[in-house]
Structure 1
Amino acid sequence: MWHMETDRYGRRIALFGGSFDPVHIGHLVIASAAAAQFSLDEVVFVPARRSPLKPPCEATPSQRAAMLKLAIADEERCGLTEEELCRAEPSYTWDTVSAARRRDPDARIFLIVGEDAFAGLEQWRCAADIAREVTFLVAPRTGAAVAQPAIPVRAERIEMPRLEISSTLIRESVRRGAPIRYLVPEPVRDYIGREGLYGPRHPSGD
């Protein structure tokens, strides 16, 4: 069932996992909205080396981490951990949640997820353990009510504008030579162009 637990002492930290291939404006909007709505001390981006439920990334782990660093450079409440990039493939959320708990035993841990991933929570490794340890912050993709998983969870919906932006859209745009300005932070757009990521042509500046 959906409910919020009584708050406890310690920092309020949200883990935001994903491929980030590449990171885009939508990710930053989610992080900013969650931080404001739930009084988070920090939103920690956690790029996965390889998600067990997704195809392999096009950019290398180091390139995806570099783009994230550029994207959050001026975001005071955003951080980055590369721990999943250093582990053997694939990346499992339970390992990351456990590591966060060991680092900060008194923290309240939140987990930012999209509604699609949340609805498929039962497919995750150690899903019940994760659900006992964290409060899910669900980023909606549609205006409809978010479907809840079969296992008990603590969860809240992030109130935010709907943005039709995805990493897939950006990669396809680059391949077509279409502009990606305003879809990704400018330093990320420049990096994609310098590195020649996602296609033979650099993204347009228009």
Structure 2
Amino acid sequence: MPESVRRGASGPSAPIVTPHGSAASDPDEPVRIGVFGGTFDPPHHGHLAIALEVGHRLRLDRVLWVVANDPWQKSGRVPVTPASVRLALVAEAVDGFAGHEVCDLEVRRGGPSYTADTLEELTRLHPGAALFLVVGSDAAEGLDTWKRADDVRALATTVVVDRGGRQGGRPPLGWPHLVVDVPALEISSSDIRSRFGDGRPVEALVQPRVVAAVRARGLYGCGR
């Protein structure tokens, strides 16, 4: 079985397991903040599995669900639900999970959402905190193409998520990173949107509070 947390190729070759529990109990330890960004259109159980597992394995004191205002990877190509609505959906998704918070930094900033800008702002807001940037293995391969990639690498520890023990992509050579394996939940937001529109069941894929919020707002073609 693979270790749940291990360093990437730039770190020690031996796998490591991070102890569980909160780092905040040690006053000499910096606050550990996970930065979990996404479009969240809508948030679903797959997102929650990642956020909970990474938070647990890395002893994170807080996990910020950073809602993208205008995701540059999708801008102009894929219709995206208004950011204010997605913020509300994420607030429903994280309700009741201690340490998990919706973050509106990118929405308040406006314009295209770039991770380097967000990490820079979080560094100013939380001086001395240790930031952990959570990315999927598919996105990890292209980290060097991100705006101000050197700042992204410097401002936070990159955490690459593998699913169900299957190794995915990795950051470019020389990019330090951790790898966390999470339960494999094959869920996509696009499929969920289609299900809402077609009237197919979504309850096994999305939290009840999010389902209720989507239906109350008539999102994704509900009620057509």
Q: Report if TM-score (shorter chain) is over 0.5.
A: yes
User: What is the count of residue pairs matched by the alignment?
Assistant: 200
Instruction: Check 1:101–1:192 CA distance in 2 against 1; reply closer, same or farther (3 A cut).
Output: same
Q: Within 1, Cα distance between the matches of 2:50 and 2:153?
A: 21
Identify the residue that residue 134 of structure 2 maps to in structure 1. Answer: 112
2:108 equivalent among 55, 69, 86: 86
Q: 2:37 aligns with which of 8, 11, 17?
A: 17
* Cα shift at 1:161: 1.1
State the identity %: 34
**Which amino acid letter does the alignment assign opposite residue 26 of structure 1?**
G
Tell me the equivalent position of 1:162.
Answer: 184
Structure 1 residue runs of 5 or longer lacking an equivalent are none
Higher strand share: 2
Answering whether residue 187 of structure 2 is matched by residue 187 of structure 1, we say no
Unaligned runs of 5+ in 2: 1-8, 13-22
TM-score normalised by length of structure 2: 0.83
Partners in 2 of 1:108 and 1:171 — Cα distance? 35
Answer yes or no: is 1:46 the counterpart of 2:46.
no
Contact 1:58 1:198 in 2 (8 A): no
Deviant stretches of 4+, over 4 Å: none
- TM-score, scaled to structure 1: 0.90
Letter in 2 for 1:174: F
What amino acid sits opposite 1:17 in the alignment?
G
Amino acid corresponding to residue 189 of structure 2 in structure 1: S
Q: Is the CA contact (8 Å cut-off) linking 1:19 and 1:47 kept in structure 2?
A: yes
Cα distance in 1 for residues equivalent to 2:213 and 2:150: 39
State the match for 2:20 in structure 1: none
Residues 1-206 of structure 1: pairs in structure 2 closer than 5 A:
1-3=9-11, 9-54=29-74, 55-141=77-163, 143-150=165-172, 152-201=174-223
Cα separation, 1, equivalents of 2:45 and 2:173: 31
1: CA distance, partners of 2:116 / 2:42: 23
CA RMSD of superposed structures (Å) = 1.9
Q: For 1:161 and 1:179, how far apart are their aligned partners in 2?
A: 22
CA distance in 2, matches of 1:57, 1:42: 30
Is the alpha carbon distance of 1:149 and 1:127 closer, same or farther for their aligned partners in structure 2, counting shifts above 3 Å?
same
For 1:184 and 1:119, the matched residues in 2 are separated by: 28
Q: Secondary structure at the match of 1:158?
A: strand
The worse-fitting range, judged by mean Cα deviation, of 122-131 and 40-49 is 122-131
1:147 is displaced (CA, Å) by: 2.5
Preserved CA contact (<8 Å) 2:36 2:135: yes
Amino acid at match of 1:44: L
